[in-house]
Amino acid sequence: MERMPENIRSILTSLVDDLKSRGSVISIGLFGSWSRGEATQSSDVDLLVVDGRDLSYEYVERAEIDDVFLDLNYVPEKWVLRDFPPEIDQKIYEAEILYDSNGTLERAKNTMQKIMWLPERVEIRTGKYLVEADILLSRGLSAYGREDYQSAKLNAALGLETIMKIMIEVNKIPLSNSHYIRALEASAKKLDLKKVYNEYLEVMGLSKVNRKDAEGVFKKFVEMWSVIIDFVEINSSIVKSLHEEIMNNLNFYCKRSFLRGIAARTRSLLQEGFFAEAVHYMLRASVDMLENYAWLLANIEGTRFDYTGLMGHLKNSKVSPSGVYEKALEVLMLKEVSLQDAQASLEKAREIILDIRKRRKELIAHMPTQ
């Protein structure tokens, strides 16, 4: 916290005091860019909140206090006590402990400091990426079979993005949504896999992004997100009837404070000249939000939502506000996708996923020691 400006430090102290007064909060840790010393004025404050309630999943709450954006990542205590799901490894590893009623988070952090970069632990995390990439590729092939070429290309791109995390992991570079492209480029250079990196950019539609492109995407991004927030607010009673995890996700993504925060971070990336990074940042956040939005649409329409065909679902919805689908195509870099484009993306994704799968154990064996 010493690296934080006084106003943010004061806000964080007050928030921690408030969280401590809640009976279910066991521990609180600061993680992310502020913990790593990489934050800028537009960076969110990320808190890991260990919760004693019987949760079965992680969920995030957004708080905005005096123009400071804070994300509260709630995880069940059992995850930190014994389960250690790999998706929270980095959060525990980076955690600057702010409150720890019974030493749970400190013990977990001490353990993670010892095992984070052991080959066996890296194999667990990267093995999870392999499974996720295979699922996304399978979704892409299924969407292609349904002639939903936008969804086919999107799933191919997301599968590639997931497998690329292995390259970042084996270089011991922190995963960050707003630094993903730069981290991947640095990793590809160290591993002599620049060709794979360039092919990834091509599939994602990011290889030739310039300032004008990125600013155009940003305009559509804000417009799309604003319309969806209005729609979610109008249908708030239906949101409350959804599965708790979907409800929590919609309440997180569809707050105006969330849009203000992500817009501020995107503007910062654009001002710094990181155009591909900015577009990727918007793209990745939009996928997560749109998937939860599609669940809401399906519930209203009495239809079934299938992650395989996200774009087809948005296109065919009778209740989604006008323009959402069209703006989503631009934000997700899917405006003009032909059968041939989808096919080429799927083939390239499959080729790279297979290649990284074969290299994985060797890459882990040759991880840097520092």
Q: Is residue 1 part of a domain?
A: no
pLDDT attached to residue 41: 77
Q: Is residue 34 part of a domain?
A: yes
Domain boundary pick from 56, 84, 115: 115
Q: Is residue 263 part of a domain?
A: yes
Tell me how far apart the alpha carbons of residues 306 and 295 are, in angstroms, rounded to a whole number.
Answer: 9
Q: Are 245 and 147 in contact (CB under 8 A)?
A: no
pLDDT attached to residue 40: 82
Using CA atoms, how far residue 11 sits from 35, 68, 193, 212, 258, in Å, is 16, 8, 43, 37, 18
Domain count of the chain?
3
Say if residue 92 is in the same domain as residue 22.
yes
Tell me how far apart the alpha carbons of residues 177 and 154 are, in angstroms, rounded to a whole number.
Answer: 17
Say if residue 293 is in the same domain as residue 360.
no
Q: Which one, of 132, 141, 124, 211, lies nearest residue 164 by Cα? A: 132
Looking at the whole model, is its pTM more than 0.85? yes
Say if residue 172 is in the same domain as residue 156.
yes
Say if residue 125 is in the same domain as residue 111.
no
Say if residue 140 is in the same domain as residue 284.
no
Q: Which one, of 45, 50, 33, lies nearest residue 94 by Cα? A: 33
Q: Is residue 14 part of a domain?
A: yes
Range of the domain at 173: 119-205+337-365
pLDDT in tens, 47-95: 999 999 988 889 999 999 998 999 999 999 999 998 899 999 999 999 9
Q: Which one, of 103, 49, 104, lies nearest residue 75 by Cα? A: 49
For the chain, the three-class secondary structure string (H helix, E strand, C coil) is: CCCCCHHHHHHHHHHHHHHHCCCCEEEEEEECHHHHCCCCCCCCEEEEEEECCCCCCCEEEEEEECCEEEEEEEEEHHHHHHHCCHHHHHHHHHCEEEEECCCHHHHHHHHHHHHCCCHHHHHHHHHHHHHHHHHHHHHHHHHHHCCCHHHHHHHHHHHHHHHHHHHHHCCCCCCCCCCHHHHHHHHHHHCCCHHHHHHHHHHHCCCCCCHHHHHHHHHHHHHHHHHHHHHHHHCHHHHCCCCHHHHHHHHHHCCHHHHHHHHHHHHHHHHCCCHHHHHHHHHHHHHHHHHHHHHHHHHHHCCCCCHHHHHHHHHHCCCCCCCHHHHHHHHCCCCCCCHHHHHHHHHHHHHHHHHHHHHHHHHHHCCCCC
Q: Is residue 69 part of a domain?
A: yes
Q: Is residue 110 part of a domain?
A: yes
Tell me how far apart the alpha carbons of residues 229 and 194 are, in angstroms, rounded to a whole number.
Answer: 39
Strand-by-strand arrangement of the 68-76 sheet: 59-65, 68-76, 45-51, 25-31, 96-100
CATH number at residue 12: 3.30.460.10
Q: How many CB atoms lie within 10 A of CB 54?
A: 9
Say if residue 327 is in the same domain as residue 277.
yes
Tell me how far apart the alpha carbons of residues 109 and 89 are, in angstroms, rounded to a whole number.
Answer: 9
Given a cut of 70, whether residue 370 has pLDDT beyond it is: no
Tell me how far apart the alpha carbons of residues 14 and 109 are, in angstroms, rounded to a whole number.
Answer: 24
Q: Are 74 and 49 in contact (CB under 8 A)?
A: yes
pLDDT attached to residue 369: 79
Tell me how far apart the alpha carbons of residues 181 and 207 are, in angstroms, rounded to a whole number.
Answer: 11
Q: Is residue 370 part of a domain?
A: no
Tell me how far apart the alpha carbons of residues 229 and 126 are, in angstroms, rounded to a whole number.
Answer: 35
Residues contacting 38, CB < 8 A, separation 6+: 176, 179
Say if residue 85 is in the same domain as residue 10.
yes
Given a cut of 80, whether residue 1 has pLDDT beyond it is: no
Domain boundary pick from 115, 139, 160: 115
pLDDT attached to residue 2: 67
CA atoms in the 13 A half-sphere facing the CB of 75:
25
Given a cut of 80, whether residue 10 has pLDDT beyond it is: yes
pLDDT in tens, 290-330: 999 999 999 999 999 999 999 999 999 999 999 999 999 99
Say if residue 165 is in the same domain as residue 310.
no
Structure tokens at 164: 């690329």
Q: Is residue 131 part of a domain?
A: yes
Say if residue 141 is in the same domain as residue 103.
no
Residues contacting 32, CB < 8 A, separation 6+: 39, 43, 44, 45, 46, 91, 94, 176
pLDDT in tens, 14-47: 999 999 998 899 999 999 999 998 888 778 999 9
Average confidence (pLDDT) over 209-225: 98
Say if residue 196 is in the same domain as residue 290.
no
Say if residue 124 is in the same domain as residue 191.
yes
**Amino acid, res. 113:** Q
Say if residue 230 is in the same domain as residue 294.
yes
